[in-house]
């Protein structure tokens, strides 16, 4: 596993973004682990988060794109901090764009904030986590309405590696249904590999009990 992936896993723990217990996902599944990017709250944390996202984007998509689209609401700060990081670390000056939940009818009107989209634009969508692929169904029509733009792919922080609407993972379904690339900074397998029964700052984050709960969850929901 690459060092930046290990660093990101520990970063999630430090920021209390990665949690283990009893949770319910947006898709209604009861899960023993949860990733809440709303816990990235400080300037220092957001700056670091943008660095992890930008590295994953450049590794997968290269530098030939010009818009980073963040779906409302959590995708908005993700798109901003990653756009800054791409400029600082990779000398890529790309535009950020996001959608509003409601269309604005005064001032800066329309459903978008940030950069407008034009024919020929190459777009990468940035999100926090995709569990069952429901968010992308709302996002793609918004982007496609803006013109003849090319959506290159989707990047998320963690691949939960579980079924979407069928037996394949949500990311694989999105890749096939929309003919785009998908990637994640880390997968849950990598998270477990790095944290299981290995003390981090004096604490075992994933002990035998939590590991069993994760294994039981994947007996039901692991994708093919």
29 annotated to bind ligand: no
Q: Is 106 annotated as a binding residue?
A: yes
For residue 12, how many C-alpha atoms fall within 13 Å in the half-sphere facing its CB? 30
Q: Which of 95, 164, 99 is nearest to 127 (CA)?
A: 99
Annotated catalytic, 178? no
The active-site residue, picked from 89, 104, 145, 198, is 104
- Asked whether residue 85 is marked as a ligand-binding residue, the answer is no
3-state secondary structure of 107: coil
Tokens 């990665």 map to which residue? Answer: 18
The answer to whether 32 touches 22, Cβ cutoff 8 Å, is: yes
Residue 72 carries which DSSP code? T
Rounded to the nearest 10 degrees, the angle between the axes of helix 3-14 and helix 188-195 is 80
Q: Is 135 annotated as a binding residue?
A: yes
122 is a catalytic site residue: no
Query: Annotation-wise, does 73 bind a ligand?
Result: yes
On whether 122 is known to bind a ligand per the annotation, the reply is no
Is 184 labelled a binding residue?
no
Q: Is 194 annotated as a binding residue?
A: no
Residue 31 counted as an annotated binding residue: no
- Flag whether 128 is marked binding: yes
d(CA 93, CA 173): 30
Q: Has 5 been labeled as part of a binding site?
A: no
What 3-state DSSP class applies to 117?
coil
In angstroms, the CA 165 to CA 151 distance is 22
Q: Which of 44, 106, 201, 219 is catalytic?
A: 106
Q: Are 192 and 211 in contact (CB under 8 A)?
A: yes
Return binding residues for orotate.
131, 160
- Annotated binding-site residues for 5-phospho-alpha-D-ribose 1-diphosphate read 26, 73-74, 100-101, 104, 106, 127-135
Residue stretches of the annotated binding site: 26, 73-74, 100-101, 104, 106, 127-135, 160
So which residues are the catalytic ones? 104, 106
């Amino acid at each position: 596993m690459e060092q930046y992936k290990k660093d990101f896993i520990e970063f999630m723990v430090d920021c209390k973004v990665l949690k283990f217990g009893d949770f319910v996902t947006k898709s209604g599944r009861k899960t023993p682990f949860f990733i809440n990017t709303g816990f990235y709250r400080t300037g220092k944390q957001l700056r670091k988060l943008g660095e992890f996202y930008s590295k994953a984007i450049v590794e997968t998509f290269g530098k030939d794109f010009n818009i980073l689209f963040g779906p409302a609401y959590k995708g908005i700060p993700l798109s901003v901090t990653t756009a800054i990081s791409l400029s600082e670390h990779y000398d890529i000056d790309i535009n950020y764009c996001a959608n509003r939940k409601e269309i604005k009818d005064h001032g800066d009107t329309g459903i978008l904030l940030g950069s407008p989209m034009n024919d020929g634009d190459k777009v990468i969508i940035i999100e926090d986590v995709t569990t069952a692929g429901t968010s992308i169904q709302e996002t793609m029509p918004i982007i496609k309405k803006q013109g003849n733009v090319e959506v290159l792919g989707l990047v998320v922080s963690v691949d939960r590696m579980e079924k979407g609407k069928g037996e394949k993972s949500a990311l694989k379904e999105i890749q096939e249904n929309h003919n785009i690339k998908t990637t994640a900074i880390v997968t849950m397998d990598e998270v477990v590999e790095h944290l299981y029964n290995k003390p981090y700052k004096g604490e075992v984050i994933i002990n035998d009990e939590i590991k069993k709960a994760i294994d039981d969850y994947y007996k039901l929901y692991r994708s093919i």
